[in-house]
Amino acid sequence: MRTLRLITATALVWLAVPAAPAGADLLPSRPITFGDGRVVVSGDVAISFGSQDVGYFNLFDYSHDAYNVLTMSISTEIRATDRIGFVGQVVDEVSLREREPGPSDRHVVYPYALYVRLRPAANQPFTILAGRIPPVFGAFARRDYGEVNPFIGLPLAYGYSTTMRPEPPPSRRELILNRGGGWAVRYPRATATVGPQGLPLVAARRWDTGVSAQWDGGKVDAGVAVTVGTLSSPQFDDDNGGKQISGRVGFTPVASFSIGVSGASGEYLSDAGESTDYGDVGGLPPPARYETHRQQALGLDAEYSLGHVVVRGEVVASRWDVPFQNGDPTLPLDALGSAIETRIALTPRWSMAVRGDRLGFSRVTAADGVVRTWDANVLRVEGAVGYLVRRNVRVKAGYQYNWRDGGRERSIGMAGAQLLYWF
């Protein structure tokens, strides 16, 4: 761990050195091209160092937390013809956490994007994507890149691990007892298909697999997708035979303002989670065994910008149909994530940003009559200052404070820095 930190710290200092003359650049600042420009390769490196996240507020997919992670990605686009292209992005993530939820998750390499792009008509803004595709739901997941996201952390709706899993909890009582413990619940789990942490409302760092059709008409844009996973549990292989339908319509009445409405509905419970034996029962007891358990979500996103100021807001409402292993009736469990952020460019190099973020959960009544939210509500305030060393090298320093009305750590402040390089 010490060696890894030394390497990343050295890289951080080296990359942050003020720009040398262009000819002396050791790293490319532009994508590398082959085949007369038909094959283009680009890359990103992001190193984040920060406080130890003992409350697991920033633990996103693959057990990595946004304040302590080294992420490297290579993107390739092959433009076979003007109408057909192949796009892929492979991400290599190394956790810099000192304590690991699971050793096997420390270093992961995964295909973030892998799809074929078809443009049926060269002069029409209509595109079909098939494969592991960018989500059409919401706004943040498509701009979850360090160069666009002014913060180190992700919005709660897109990264915070709730106690929800693609498998049934043992009972309502166990669910409530584990409020605020989304990173690792204490009850025996049916499978290990996802985890150890729970699902976010929308997984920004993993994309789903399927087909999407998108049309960008300037003032109005629209997209619809059919995928094998769900917003909270995207899949590479179908794990339940169900499909998710999602879509978004965006409207830009004036250049300074845009708004979008999204919706999604799909089966989120895995077959393994439903059929695993629980005690004396062979899989989920009826009638839950014969039900369809869906995640349904609605989203609203808006952006206003003028001059040196950009303001963005996003709301995600999610509902999961949750059965229980002990035969408790299936419950619709709701979550509402809302965030508003503003970014101000202070000078050509310096910028600052502030985000207010909240994640709330619906109430349920446990067998003993106690009424609580099914997971602990979370509130977060995050600020960041960015410095553009070069066009393709940015340094950020950030601080966030989290409050949670349950779980082991009720409140925690996090400070960190991030270095980004891309070409």
Residues of the shown chain interacting with other proteins in the complex, contacts defined by CB under 8 A: 19, 22-23, 25, 28-37, 40-42, 75-77, 79, 82, 85, 87, 89, 112-113, 117, 119, 122, 125, 127, 129, 134, 141-145, 147, 212, 214, 216, 218, 223, 252, 254-256, 305-308, 310, 345, 347-349, 388, 390-391, 422-423
CB 117 → other proteins: shortest distance, Å? Answer: 6
Between CA 167 and CA 237, with CA 201 as vertex, the angle to 5 degrees is 55
CB 15 → other proteins: shortest distance, Å? Answer: 15
Residue (55 or 386) nearer to other proteins, CB: 386
Q: Which CA distances in Å does 59 have to 68, 158, 166?
A: 10, 11, 17
Between CA 52 and CA 389, with CA 2 as vertex, the angle to 5 degrees is 75
Q: Which helix (H) or strand (E) holds 6?
A: helix 2-16
- Report the C-alpha gap between 232 and 228 in whole angstroms: 12
CB 107 → other proteins: shortest distance, Å? Answer: 22
- Report the C-alpha gap between 13 and 75 in whole angstroms: 25
CB 206 → other proteins: shortest distance, Å? Answer: 13
CB 226 → other proteins: shortest distance, Å? Answer: 15
Residue (279 or 307) nearer to other proteins, CB: 307
CB 150 → other proteins: shortest distance, Å? Answer: 11
- Report the C-alpha gap between 419 and 423 in whole angstroms: 14
CB 22 → other proteins: shortest distance, Å? Answer: 5
CB 148 → other proteins: shortest distance, Å? Answer: 9
Strand partners, 147: none
- Report the C-alpha gap between 421 and 94 in whole angstroms: 16
Residue (5 or 79) nearer to other proteins, CB: 79
- In this structure, the strands spanning 107-118 and 309-322 are unpaired
DSSP string spanning 154-178?
PPHHHH---S--SS--S-HHHHHHT
- Report the C-alpha gap between 271 and 226 in whole angstroms: 19
Residue (214 or 233) nearer to other proteins, CB: 214
CB count in 10 Å sphere of residue 266: 26
Tokens at residue 38, please?
């038909």
Q: What are phi and psi of 12, to 5 degrees?
A: -60, -45
CB 418 → other proteins: shortest distance, Å? Answer: 18
Residue (217 or 286) nearer to other proteins, CB: 217
CA atoms within 13 A on the CB side of 269: 26
Residue (43 or 323) nearer to other proteins, CB: 43
Residue (381 or 395) nearer to other proteins, CB: 395
Between CA 386 and CA 392, with CA 390 as vertex, the angle to 5 degrees is 85
Q: What is the DSSP letter of 281?
A: B
Identify residue 320 by its one-letter amino acid code.
W
Tokens at residue 132, please?
């592991």
Residue (366 or 395) nearer to other proteins, CB: 395
Q: What are phi and psi of 296, to 5 degrees?
A: -120, 140
Residue (202 or 336) nearer to other proteins, CB: 202
Residue (127 or 342) nearer to other proteins, CB: 127
CB 95 → other proteins: shortest distance, Å? Answer: 23
- Report the C-alpha gap between 184 and 167 in whole angstroms: 14
Contact 268, 232 (CB under 8 A): yes
